[in-house]
Each structure stands twice: as C-alpha cells, then as structure tokens.
Amino acid sequence: MRNQILVKRYTQGLAGALEDEKEYRAVSRELAEFSTLLRTRQDLADVLASPFIAAKIKGQVIMETLSASSFSQKAKRFIGLLFEHSRLPLLGDILQAIPVFWNERKGVSTFEAFSVVALTDAQKSKLKAKLERLEKRPVDVTYKIEPGLVAGISLKKGNIVYDASIKGHLLKLKEKISEG
C-alpha cells in the first residue's frame, strides 16, 4: 500500500513538471531507457544493490551514468531524486502510471479494455465513442488480450473494473446462489 502511495506522489509530481506532449514523450522514453539499463546491466544493478558500497559512491556511479547519457535535465533530476530517496525500485511502477496521470492532467480518462480476442478497428472506435459519451470527455483506451475471460469484455479505469464478460456474470450468479 505504501508503495502505491509513493508511486502516485512521484508520478503526479513528474506529470506536473512536464510542460507539453513533446517533453512528456521524451522524458518517458528516457526514463524507460534508464529502467532498461538497470535491468540489463548486471554490474550497475549489483553496485546499486550492494550494502557494502557507500551511498556516496553509488551516487557517483548514478551521476556518471547520467552524465554519459543524452537524457534531458528533467529526466536526470527525476532519476537523481529517486536515487536520493532510495526510490529507484519504484521506477517501473512510475513508468506504468505516468500515462494515466499525464492523461488526467490533460482532462482525458484512461481505460484498459480486456477481451478474449483482439477487437476490430470498428469495435474499438465504437467502444471509445461510447466511453466518451459516458465520461463526457475524451478517453484513451488501451486494449489487451485476456484469455481467461471466456467471452465479452472487461474495462478497467483506475481501481474500478466494469465486467461485461461471461465469466463475470457467472461469478455473480455463483455469489447469488451461495448467498441463498
């Protein structure tokens, strides 16, 4: 729970510091590159995770790594901030959350749509139009395949799940039967 709160705070701060779509895309890409670097460079990960290496030396390693990169100042400062507060392990979660907070800042609702098979372009546009009518503002929909649904569709907005799948209906029916 605490990590979710921290991820939300850092992500909101980052989204608030970004000025426009171009900067959002650039900083997001740079943070993703740094996250990949942490995952793929075992020597760097070992240095940062080692309890035997002083924080000052770890900071120097981070700063040298960042100075060798062509990252923007905002990306470098954000990575430095995460390191300084021992929050680098949150970077992956922040990267997943930033599109939602960026869209929210622009007045766009973000949904995830789960289906058993890939939706056609016509189905996607119809779903998006329906969600925009219901939300009364623009929406951004990410489509994902979920083989466990059986049939139908499931929508997720933040922590709220709208389940219009056969599996969801069967689970509701099971609950009603077990209640008596």
Tens-digit pLDDT profile for residues 31-48: 999 889 888 888 888 888
Q: Is the pLDDT of residue 179 over 80?
A: no
User: Would you say the pTM of this structure is higher than 0.85?
Assistant: no
- SS3 sequence of the chain: CHHHHHHHHHHHHHHHHCCCHHHHHHHHHHHHHHHHHHHHCHHHHHHHHCCCCCHHHHHHHHHHHHHCCCCCHHHHHHHHHHHHCCCHHHHHHHHHHHHHHHHHHCCCEEEEEEECCCCCHHHHHHHHHHHHHHHCCCEEEEEEECHHHCCEEEEEECCEEEEEEHHHHHHHHHHHHHHC
Predicted local confidence at residue 169, as pLDDT: 57
**Mean pLDDT, rounded, for 146-166:** 74
Taking residues 13-35, what's their average pLDDT?
89
Average pLDDT of the chain to the nearest whole number? 83
- pLDDT tens for 33-89 read 988 988 888 888 888 888 888 888 888 888 888 888 888 888 889 988 888 888 888
Model confidence pLDDT, tens digit, residues 165-175: 666 656 666 77
The confidence score (pLDDT) of residue 165 equals: 62
Q: Which value, in Å, is the radius of gyration of the alpha carbons in the chain?
A: 21
pLDDT at 166: 62
Q: How confident is the model at residue 30 (pLDDT cuts 50, 70, 90)?
A: very high
CATH of domain 2-103: 1.10.520.20
Q: What confidence tens digit (pLDDT) does each residue in 102-136 have?
A: 888 878 888 888 888 888 889 888 888 988 888 88
Q: From residue 156, how far is each of 33, 109, 127 by CA, in Å? A: 27, 11, 13
Residues of the chain with CATH 1.10.520.20: 2-103
